[in-house]
Structure 1
Amino acid sequence: MNRHANEMKDIVEVCLLAGKLMLKNGAETYRVEDTMTRISHAYGIHESHSYVTPTAILFSIEGAEAARLARISDRTIQLDKVTEINGISRRISRGELSVKEAYNLLKEVDASRKIYPLWFSTLAAGLTSGCFLIMYGGIWRDFIPALIAGGFGYYCLIIVQRYVHIKFFSEFTASLMIGLLASLIVLMDLGEQFDKIVIGSVMPLVPGLLMTNAVRDLMAGHLVSGLSKGSEAFLTAFAIGTGVVAVLSWLS
């Protein structure tokens, strides 16, 4: 009896860890629930129940004493980890991994830190900003100004987030710096189209994944998660817009 209880506990640990890692790294709510259910089924537990929100996971199985709760305190976007966990889940479904092996692999994914250097992220954000400027009808003369403004804004976002753990404030500060730098560039006659420079530069800050996940969760029937992610995306967009509007008000 004790052995069976320990096995059940280990399976719950694997399911919770997989769900927690997927949710905190940018996976959709319905995908998290589906992965946890598939893992439990693969290990012979066909009666499992999960309730997932952006900040917590509740998971229980028939025969266990109580439901388990996993708290999600911080969320980021690392879709490579989501892909790795999907791969582990498929191997579990094919019967290739024991419970202990799966748990160890998930812990390795959790411990991995694939973080790009700040200079690389800043450069990538700058190049993205320049490309968005051209895509939205800007001129090639403004490509470098958009690259500089977008890279500087993303750099400010990362630096502020290190010291102030308030997402709204960091995004507002980044968009404010982008607006100020873009206006300075235009005033110095180094750029021409202020609006296109700002539009291209703020694109790396836009919560595209949040909006996509919110819509997909709503379509899958996860109303709580969909609405909460939609609200978070709205607040991010509001922060970006407020920073730009503050600059425009000062200029006028």
Structure 2
Amino acid sequence: MNGFYKINKTNEKNINFIHEVAEVCVLAGKILLENGAETFRVEDTMNRLAQSFSVHEAQSFVTPTGIVFAIEGRDVTQLVRITRRGTNLRKVSEVNSLSRQVAEGGAQIEEIHRRLKHIDRIVNTYPEWLQILAAAAASSCFLIMFLGRWGDILPAFIAGGAGQAGTIYFHRLTKVKFFSEFMSSILVGLIAVLSVRIGMGLELNKIIIGAVMPLVPGVPITNAVRDVMAGDLVSGLSKSAEAGLTAFAIGIGIAFALALY
């Protein structure tokens, strides 16, 4: 009787451990997918985490809007819906570092779960004022890179910072990403047009090009190409469509502003 009780307790511990491994893998995949990681990286990280905890029957299927994770023979399947996506490469880097640490056998599963929850709770890696300042400085640098005039650095600086501030503000009003990009590009275009009209700016095209670059979806485009090359056609085409719609919204916003010029 005692042997039967011990076997049941052992099986119960094993089942609880398997479920916790699944939760850790899905949480890691969720953080990566929500913050700009490509599909291949998400699936590979989830599978490696499972294997590091001696769960070799794990299977994962990832799309831009959802994660399916299952462990064969264990009756464990989890589905997570992804409702928001952005770019926060610091979170991606932290999850990757944590995954490598697990692969080296340097942490227990409870500690990994706790650290992943902490990473997931981080809202903004950098304060908003610093994001705006960085976008403004990058816009000035892009202006020079595209052979703009030095006299247009200040208009590009102001327009780029205003565009980033607009993205943050409009994203709070609505979760429709394309709307915030559209309104931000209008703001960039209007500031560029106004700077040229009052004589503060010289070349309208170069000012707009430099200021709009921080809004361009560079990470989604890169991930879309990598997913297609890795054979993840569903994710690659989905991300390509998302990046294309974002670029279209930016173009329409700039065209609307230029119509007033």
Would you call these one fold, judging by a TM-score over 0.5?
Answer: yes
- Report Cα offsets for 1:143-175 as digits up to 9, x if no partner: 111101111121111111111221111111111
1:190 alignment partner AA: M
Question: 1:113-128 counterparts in 2 under 5 A?
Answer: 113-128=123-138
- Are residue 129 (structure 1) and residue 134 (structure 2) matched? no
Alpha-carbon distance between aligned partners in 1 of 2:35 and 2:113, rounded to the nearest angstrom: 18
Instruction: Give, in angstroms, the shift of residue 124 of structure 1.
Output: 1.2
1:5 alignment partner AA: I
Find the partner of 2:54 among 44, 59, 78: 44
Find the partner of 2:35 among 20, 25, 46: 25
When the two structures are aligned, how many residues end up with a matched partner?
A: 251
- Are residue 191 (structure 1) and residue 201 (structure 2) matched? yes
SS of the residue aligned with 1:77?
Answer: coil
- Are residue 11 (structure 1) and residue 21 (structure 2) matched? yes
Alpha-carbon distance between aligned partners in 1 of 2:76 and 2:130, rounded to the nearest angstrom: 46
SS of the residue aligned with 1:52?
Answer: strand
Instruction: Give, in angstroms, the shift of residue 101 of structure 1.
Output: 1.8
- Are residue 242 (structure 1) and residue 256 (structure 2) matched? no
Residue matched to 1:153: 163
Residue matched to 2:102: 92
Instruction: Give, in angstroms, the shift of residue 206 of structure 1.
Output: 0.3
Q: Which runs of 4+ in 1 moved over 6 A?
A: none
Alpha-carbon distance between aligned partners in 2 of 1:94 and 1:187, rounded to the nearest angstrom: 61
2:207 alignment partner AA: I
**With structure 1 as the length reference, what TM-score do the two structures score?**
0.96
Residue matched to 1:104: 114
Instruction: Give, in angstroms, the shift of residue 97 of structure 1.
Output: 1.6
SS of the residue aligned with 2:199?
Answer: coil
Find the partner of 1:78 among 64, 76, 88: 88
Residue matched to 1:165: 175
Instruction: Give, in angstroms, the shift of residue 72 of structure 1.
Output: 1.3
Instruction: Give, in angstroms, the shift of residue 31 of structure 1.
Output: 0.3
2:118 alignment partner AA: E
- Report Cα offsets for 1:27-72 as digits up to 9, x if no partner: 1110010011111111111121110011110000122224210111
Contact kept, 8 Å, 2:19 with 2:76, in 1: the verdict is no
Could you tell me which runs of 5 or more consecutive residues in structure 1 were left unpaired when the two chains were aligned. none
2:52 alignment partner AA: A
Alpha-carbon distance between aligned partners in 1 of 2:118 and 2:194, rounded to the nearest angstrom: 47
Contact kept, 8 Å, 2:61 with 2:68, in 1: the verdict is yes
Instruction: Give, in angstroms, the shift of residue 177 of structure 1.
Output: 1.1
SS of the residue aligned with 1:70?
Answer: strand
Alpha-carbon distance between aligned partners in 2 of 1:134 and 1:38, rounded to the nearest angstrom: 44
Alpha-carbon distance between aligned partners in 1 of 2:68 and 2:147, rounded to the nearest angstrom: 47
1:169 alignment partner AA: F
- Are residue 220 (structure 1) and residue 230 (structure 2) matched? yes
Residue matched to 2:71: 61
Alpha-carbon distance between aligned partners in 1 of 2:135 and 2:148, rounded to the nearest angstrom: 17
Instruction: Give, in angstroms, the shift of residue 114 of structure 1.
Output: 4.0
Alpha-carbon distance between aligned partners in 2 of 1:91 and 1:117, rounded to the nearest angstrom: 28
Residue matched to 1:176: 186
- Report Cα offsets for 1:125-151 as digits up to 9, x if no partner: 111111000000101000111101111
1:73 alignment partner AA: T
Alpha-carbon distance between aligned partners in 2 of 1:249 and 1:135, rounded to the nearest angstrom: 26
CA RMSD of aligned residues (A): 1.2
SS of the residue aligned with 1:250?
Answer: coil
Alpha-carbon distance between aligned partners in 2 of 1:20 and 1:235, rounded to the nearest angstrom: 23
